[in-house]
A and B are shown apart, each in its own frame.
Chain A
């Protein structure tokens, strides 16, 4: 039952991301959804993935996102619509609850999974699946160069004013 509460809070985070007027609340929603996504993953037994998500997503990407949205702040920011976001979230969750009511009585199969369930298949990624890691890393290198080229634009000296 608590598991579904965590998934509901994940939904709240996502609603905050797509429905809020100000980008700071959207970043807050990203934080909430990634945090509760990690909690959901942990309760399924996939602790390594949860740690990975937390470190890279929250510790790396989100910090960069918040700083860049602070750089591109507009002069007269809009007041947030937090009440509408919460109302939309409550409507969505009640809609799902009243339609798919039966799942609340089903057995909680999830807690039977042993912890560290992801490490056995994760080792394959570094062993036989080393080519996937290499190709993934090369693709990320291409992404870096693309992001640099797009943001430099035509000036080639410094970041132009976005």
Chain B
């Protein structure tokens, strides 16, 4: 696509998300959400392959519907409370409609069905935009609404998300679908903390975004679209090891950084005396850890019968633009557990 058009669309995507974050009037929030949806449609569908176009269409329909629902809830709130201000959600019905719209936008269960479908039709760079950047605006809105009204719908949807994210990823062979279900599960962990301390959720969300971006960039570099191509990929050998570490960090194993995403919610739940929901989260993350380990197994822990010339590959063509970005994001997954004391500022 034309470079100028590409730059224009990326700029309007960033502008749309910024418009959502920086305004406290509902109308620019709706405008920013629609702007960010519209501006990535050409970016997703420029290859004119039928899979990408179908995924773009599904994405657009879901996001447009939920943005209209959000505007509907905001106008209902205007009718009841006479204010367009974001900080004046007074009635439960308008809060529920707006939260339902944001849950559809984020892809939390029970409204998660579009997410693996859309992600599995797009190439990896588009996947990064959909799974990481596009979640910033609705997550920001959800967390800022949780500052005002705490409602149990968030807990129910996050428990369902964690369980769906675990069970949904079990029988998949496409790496994009596995990462989609892992994303659903992680968002479940992040949004449940929003019921208790929403500021901590920002921290967990940032951590998750960085981890996920690193993994998706590595998958883009090696074109790891299916589980069968995991053992045959020619990435730089250090990237193979770091890919495994980043995935185990996403699964939440303790000395790695992703453990923050699991230990902080557990601390928050038990400090608030809400021990009942903890087993659901643990079961969901245990099941999702299984398919992370399956990816790690197929990448680094098995050696399929092949010529010995394929095993040692020093010369690879992977000195692309994404290598420095991967190199800056990966240390967060390794040393991230040292960031745990930041959390104690919020208690």
**Residues of A in contact with B (beta carbons under 8 Å apart):** 132, 135-136, 138-139, 142-143, 145-146, 149-150, 153-154
Contact = CB atoms under 8 A, between A and B. Distances in A.
B35 A142 contact: yes
B38 A136 contact: no
Contacts of B46: 149, 154
21 contacts: A132-B27, A135-B28, A135-B31, A136-B31, A139-B31, A139-B34, A139-B38, A142-B8, A143-B38, A145-B8, A145-B9, A146-B9, A146-B38, A146-B39, A146-B41, A146-B42, A149-B42, A149-B46, A150-B41, A154-B46, A154-B48
Contact of A150 (B12, B19, B42): B42
A25 to B, nearest CB: 23
A153 B19 CA distance: 29
B163 to A, nearest CB: 35
B1 interface: yes
B325 interface: no
A128 to B, nearest CB: 12
A50 to B, nearest CB: 18
A138 B16 CA distance: 11
Given A145-B5, A149-B1, 17 more contacts: A132-B27, A136-B31, A138-B12, A139-B12, A139-B31, A139-B38, A142-B8, A142-B9, A142-B35, A146-B9, A149-B42, A149-B46, A150-B41, A150-B45, A153-B48, A154-B46, A154-B48
Contacts of B19: 135
State the majority secondary structure of interface residues on B.
helix
Contacts of A150: 41-42, 45
A135 to B, nearest CB: 6
Given A139-B35, A149-B5, A153-B48, A132 B28 contact: yes
Interface in B224-272: none
Interface string B14-45: 00000100000001100100110011011001
Contacts of A143: 38
A88 to B, nearest CB: 22
Contacts of A136: 31
Nearest to B8: A145
Nearest to B27: A132
Nearest to A139: B35
Nearest to B1: A149
A136 B15 CA distance: 12
A142 B39 contact: yes
Contacts of A142: 8-9, 12, 35, 38-39
A89 to B, nearest CB: 23
Nearest to B13: A142
Which 5 pairs show the lowest CB-CB distances between chains A and B?
A149-B42, A142-B12, A154-B48, A139-B35, A146-B38
Contacts of B35: 139, 142
B115 to A, nearest CB: 22
Nearest to B45: A150
A146 B18 CA distance: 19
Contacts of A145: 5, 8-9
A99 to B, nearest CB: 19
A39 to B, nearest CB: 21
Contacts of B1: 149
The listed residue with most B CB atoms (<10 A of its CB), out of A132, A138, A145, A149, is A149
Contacts of A146: 9, 38-39, 41-42
A80 B1 CA distance: 42
A159 B61 CA distance: 23
Contacts of B5: 145, 149
A136 B31 CA distance: 8
Nearest to A155: B48
Nearest to A160: B48
